[in-house]
Amino acid sequence: MAGRRTLQVLVMLGGLIAWALQFTLIYGVTSTLCGRGWADKTLFGGGVVPVTILLSTLAALAIGAAMLLLSLKEYRSLQHGTASAVDTFMNQAAILISGLSLVVIIWHGVPALILPACA
């Protein structure tokens, strides 16, 4: 019971938590690399800064999308059974929040990618 509830909360907040991680990672990595003058190093054949931004944005998107898919699946199964009002509520909140988090993650990632690093 307690475990299921924790899971529900995690799915509900997962997208936003992913955004927070993306944010911290991009901010931490760029300010460290630019501050130390290490930004011209390369990673996987690209500049280290854009590659980290790209990877963390994709990772965050993946988490957000996973939460969205999970909650949409749950939504369909709730349609059939006799779900309690709380479950329905948590599920709909999860759909809304993970949907929003996808937008926010892109919103933050794209300009960071377009702009030159360390300028």
Partner 1 sequence: MNAPGLPKSFERDRSELPNPLPRPEGEFEGLKKAWEPPKGISFITAVNNTYVGLWYVGTAFLFFILAGILALIMRAQLASPESDLVGHDLYNQLFTMHGTVMMFLFAVPAVEAASVYLLPNMQAARDLPFPRLSAYAFWAYFVGGLVFFCTIFFGLAPNGGWFMYPPLTSTKYSPADNADWWLLGIGFIEISAIAGAIEIIVGVMKTRAVGMSLDKLPVYSWAMLVFAAMIVIGFPAIILGTLLLELERAFDWPFFIAERGGDPLLWQHLFWFFGHPEVYIIFLPATGMVSMIVPAMAQTPLVGYRLVVLALIATGFLSFGLWVHHMFATGLPKMSLSFFSAASTAVAVPSGIQVFAWIATIASGRMKLTTPSLFVIGFLFIFTLGGLTGVMVAMAPFDWQAHDSYFVVAHLHYVLIGGMVFPLFAAFYYWVPVASKRALSERLGRWVFGLMFLGVNVTFLPMHITGLIGMPRRVYTYPVGMGWDALNLVSTVGAFMIAIGVAIFLVDMARNFRFAGEDNAGNVWNAGTLEWLPNGNYATRSIPSVNSREPLWDQPDLAKNVEDGRYYLPGTATGGREALVTSPFDARPQYILQIPGPGWQPVLSAVFTAAFFLLLTVKLIFLSVICGVLAVGCVIWWLWETDPGPVRPPADIGGGVVVPVYVTGPMNHSWWAMIVLMIVSGMVFTCLIFSYLFLWLVNPMAWPPQETVLPSVAWPLAAAFLYVVSAALILWASRVLKGDDRRAPRSVPILIGVALVLVSGASAVDLWAQWRSGLSPSAHAYGAAVYAILSLQIFFVLTTLVMGLYTIARWVAGRLDSVRRTTFDNTMLFWIYTTGQGLVGLLVVYGFPRLGGGV
Q: Contact positions toward partner 1, by CB under 8 A? A: 1-2, 5, 13, 16, 19-20, 23, 26-27, 30-32, 34-36, 84-86, 88-90, 92-93, 96-97, 100, 104, 107-108, 111-112, 115-119
Of 58 and 115, CB closest to partner 1: 115
Taking CA atoms, 119 is separated from 28, 34, 46, 87, 104, in Å, by 16, 9, 17, 48, 23
Minimal distance in Å, beta carbon 84 to partner 1? 7
Minimal distance in Å, beta carbon 42 to partner 1? 18
Tell me the Ramachandran region of residue 118: left when phi exceeds 0, alpha when psi lies from -120 to 50, beta otherwise. left
Minimal distance in Å, beta carbon 116 to partner 1? 7
DSSP element (H, E) containing 43? strand 42-43
Of 67 and 90, CB closest to partner 1: 90
How is residue 44 written in tokens? 């996987």
Of 23 and 75, CB closest to partner 1: 23
DSSP of 50-94, one letter per residue?
HHHHHHHHHHHHHHHHHHHHHHHHHHHHHHHTT--HHHHHHHHHH
Minimal distance in Å, beta carbon 9 to partner 1? 9
Of 26 and 63, CB closest to partner 1: 26
